[in-house]
Every structure is written in C-alpha cells, then in structure tokens.
Amino acid sequence: MVERRVNIGWAEGLHARPASIFVRAATAAGVPVTIAKADGGPVNAASMLAVLSLGAQGGEEVVLASDAEDAEQAATALDRLAKLVAEGLEELPETV
C-alpha cells in the first residue's frame, strides 16, 4: 500500500467545489484511491458523498492511499492528488 499525508490547502476544506475538483482528479487517477482524516477510517476518494462525509476542514491532515498492484503508478497518482490537495488548486491541472 502506498500513502501520502497532506494538509488540506483549501480554506473551506473538502466541501462542495473543492471536493468536486478532488473527486474528479481521484476518478481520473486510474488507480483505486482512498482518503481518510488522520484519526478516521478511509473512504473511496472517487465518491463525492464519501468525501463530503469526511467533513475535512482547511489545514487538516488527510491520508491518501492506494493498494493498486502497480506501486509506481499508485505513487505517481498519489503525488498528483497530494499536490492538488496541498495547494488547494481551483482547476484540475493538465497532468491529472
């Protein structure tokens, strides 16, 4: 399992628009990805309802993880998602 720990860069946390941006990126990642608050259980990162249910706030640490068979592909996908979350990007980068 590959994982990345990152603090949420969106001031409003993973709510509405930021969650939508994140879920679209996680869906496009090409590997199964989960997201969890540091003190909670993981949820499917490609599910808008699951991501919203986390109630993750800005600045809070989350754990992104993937158990894909191709560890290199999983690591690359998680690096991209971690950058998106940490920087609080308002648009999906071309590389996601």
15 carries an active-site annotation: yes
- Among candidate residues 3, 7, 9, 15, the one labeled active-site is 15
Please write the tens of the pLDDT for every residue from 27-54.
Answer: 999 999 999 998 899 999 999 999 999 9
Q: At what angle do helices 71-87 and 16-28 cross, to 10 degrees?
A: 160
Q: pLDDT for 58-80, tens place per residue?
A: 999 999 999 999 999 999 999 99
Rounded Cα distance between 58 and 35, Å, is: 15
Using alpha carbons, list the distances in angstroms from residue 24 to 30, 77, 81: 11, 13, 10
| Integer Cα distance of 59 and 56 in angstroms | 9
- Indicate the pTM of the whole model: 0.91
Query: What pLDDT, on a 0 to 100 scale, did the predictor assign at position 96?
Result: 47
**Alpha carbon distance 56, 38 (integer Å):** 10
Q: CB count, 10 Å around CB of 44? A: 16
What is residue 69's DSSP assignment? S
Give the right CATH number for 2-87 from 3.30.1340.10, 3.40.50.970, 3.50.50.60, 3.40.718.10. Answer: 3.30.1340.10
